[in-house]
């Protein structure tokens, strides 16, 4: 039996479904039941009838799935896969802003720990941040942890006052604008599609800025046949599936999220067989607050 066949068999036996992010290895995306961006995955996690959710992504994704589905078993194939940005804000930053601005809304990117979510008023993803923040009644917005997404959202909503935090995604922050420029010189007709976690110099070169799903949808529906992609290179798999006739170019220093790439087929087989690496979330006040922050996102994103 191949590893792929073994996973299919175990999934049926255990009543499990496999959810994966676009940044995981292609062979993991290939066996997934659902592949998506953070927003799609958080919505999907709520809809699944299965007893077990196998979450192929980093820990904040598994935490969010568990918070939204406390009765379900959430298995993380690699319990150490973590997003460094998800930790990049202190409670002091939030407290200080709350003291200073009476009508403050603390908006946390879903790429944050459950603890950070518990200090926040609403969660957002890159796919829904502009829509949600625009519709908040508050004028003052502390946007945590990502400074790049915060600036991108702030530019779209000039009527609000943004307070920034210094967090960033190392993969997107360190992308080199010079490498994107080189690609543009080589392929002048190519469209440049980038993720809002990128630094401002890279964002300035973009024809389109959006979440991983946004980038894939743009390429899927575009009449163009060449694209320069400014996000983690795991999206190549979905892009090629969507557009077999198109060419996709990534920066010379390939953007790779080492944490997302930790997840392997062997680990998936292992957690399915043994029920190991379960995401556990205590039933306390902090996690209840984190759950409300996520539920508020799901509610506001639908308006
Ligand atoms: P999206 O999938 O929401 O675009 O986010 C990208 C990301 O960095 C996830 O960790
Ligand atoms: Fe975190 Fe960046 Fe990896 Fe996404 S790509 S999980 S933001 S480190």
* Cα gap 69→18, rounded to integer Å: 15
- 165 pLDDT more than 90: yes
Length of the chain: 303
pLDDT for position 47: 84
For residue 78, the Cα-to-chain-centroid distance in whole angstroms is 17
Ligand 1 atom closest to the CA of 111, numbered from 1: 10
Q: Which of 21, 64, 172, 215 maximizes ligand 2 atoms within 8 Å of its Cβ, making it the mutation to test the pocket?
A: 172
* Cα gap 190→203, rounded to integer Å: 16
- Note whether residue 18 is domain-resident: yes
- Note whether residue 27 is domain-resident: yes
Same domain, 36 and 49: yes
Same domain, 67 and 212: no
Residue bearing the CA closest to ligand 1, atom 2: 37
- Note whether residue 254 is domain-resident: no
Express as a percent the part of the chain with pLDDT over 70: 100
Q: Which of 113, 128, 170, 212 maximizes ligand 1 atoms within 8 Å of its Cβ, making it the mutation to test the pocket?
A: 212
pLDDT for position 83: 98
Q: Which of 257, 258, 262 maximizes ligand 2 atoms within 8 Å of its Cβ, making it the mutation to test the pocket?
A: 257
pLDDT one-digit tens code per residue, 247-280? 999 999 999 999 999 999 999 999 999 999 999 9
Residue bearing the CA closest to ligand 1, atom 3: 38
Q: Kindly report the three-state secondary structure assignment for every residue of 94-146.
A: HHHHHHHCCCCEEEEECCCCHHHHHCCCEEECCCCHHHHHHCCCCCEEEEECE
In the structure, what pLDDT confidence band is assigned to residue 289 with cuts at 50, 70 and 90? very high
In the structure, what pLDDT confidence band is assigned to residue 46 with cuts at 50, 70 and 90? confident
Same domain, 159 and 90: yes
Scanning the structure block, which residue is given the tokens 């990128």?
198
Same domain, 101 and 127: yes
In the structure, what pLDDT confidence band is assigned to residue 126 with cuts at 50, 70 and 90? very high
Range in 69-73, 117-121, 255-259 the model is least confident about: 69-73
Question: Tell me, what CATH number does 143's domain have?
Answer: 3.40.50.10800
Same domain, 157 and 289: yes
67 SS3 class = helix
Mean pLDDT along residues 196-205: 98
Tally of domains in the chain:
3
Same domain, 8 and 71: yes
Range in 64-68, 86-90, 151-155 the model is least confident about: 64-68
Mean pLDDT along residues 141-155: 98
Residue of 128, 101, 121, 117 lying closest to 43 (CA atoms) = 128
In the structure, what pLDDT confidence band is assigned to residue 33 with cuts at 50, 70 and 90? very high
In the structure, what pLDDT confidence band is assigned to residue 303 with cuts at 50, 70 and 90? confident
Same domain, 157 and 295: yes
301 SS3 class = helix
- Note whether residue 93 is domain-resident: yes
Same domain, 295 and 269: no
- 245 pLDDT more than 90: yes
The structure's pTM equals: 0.95
Mean pLDDT along residues 142-158: 98
pLDDT for position 97: 98
- Note whether residue 255 is domain-resident: no
Same domain, 89 and 77: no
In the structure, what pLDDT confidence band is assigned to residue 82 with cuts at 50, 70 and 90? very high
Ligand 1 atom closest to the CA of 125, numbered from 1: 3
Cβ burial of 71 (10 Å; 0-12, 13-18, 19+) is: exposed
Residue bearing the CA closest to ligand 2, atom 3: 257
pLDDT one-digit tens code per residue, 171-190? 999 999 999 999 999 999 99
In the structure, what pLDDT confidence band is assigned to residue 42 with cuts at 50, 70 and 90? confident
Same domain, 241 and 269: no
Same domain, 124 and 266: no
Domain of 290, in residue numbers: 85-167+285-300
Ligand 1 atom closest to the CA of 232, numbered from 1: 8
Q: How far is ligand 2, taken at its centre, from the CA of residue 265, in Å? A: 20
Same domain, 53 and 111: no
């Amino acid at each position: 039996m191949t590893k792929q066949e073994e996973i299919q068999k175990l999934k049926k036996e255990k009543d499990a479904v496999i959810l994966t992010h676009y940044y995981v290895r292609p062979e993991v995306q290939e066996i997934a039941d659902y592949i998506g961006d953070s927003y799609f995955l958080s919505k999907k996690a709520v809809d699944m009838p299965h007893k077990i959710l196998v979450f192929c992504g980093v820990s904040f994704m598994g935490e969010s799935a568990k918070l939204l589905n406390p009765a379900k078993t959430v298995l993380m194939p690699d319990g150490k896969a973590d997003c460094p940005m998800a930790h990049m804000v202190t409670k002091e930053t939030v407290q200080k802003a709350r003291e200073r601005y009476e009508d403050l809304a603390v908006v946390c990117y879903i790429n944050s720990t459950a603890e950070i979510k518990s200090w926040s008023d609403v969660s957002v993803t890159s796919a829904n941040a502009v829509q949600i923040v625009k519709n908040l009644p508050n004028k003052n917005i502390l946007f945590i942890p990502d400074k790049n997404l915060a600036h991108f959202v702030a530019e779209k909503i000039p009527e609000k006052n943004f307070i920034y935090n210094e967090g960033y995604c190392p993969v997107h922050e360190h992308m080199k604008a010079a490498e994107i420029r080189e690609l543009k010189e080589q392929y002048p007709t190519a469209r440049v599609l980038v993720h809002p976690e990128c630094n401002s110099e890279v964002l300035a070169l973009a024809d389109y800025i959006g979440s991983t799903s946004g980038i894939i949808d743009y390429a899927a529906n575009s009449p163009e046949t060449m694209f320069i992609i400014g996000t983690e290179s795991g999206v190549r798999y979905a892009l090629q599936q969507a557009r077999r006739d198109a060419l996709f170019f990534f920066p010379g220093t390939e953007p790779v999220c080492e944490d997302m790439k930790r997840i392997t087929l062997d680990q998936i087989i292992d957690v399915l067989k043994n029920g190991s690496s379960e995401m556990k979330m205590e039933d306390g006040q902090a996690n209840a607050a984190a759950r409300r922050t996520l539920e508020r996102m799901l509610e506001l994103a639908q308006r």
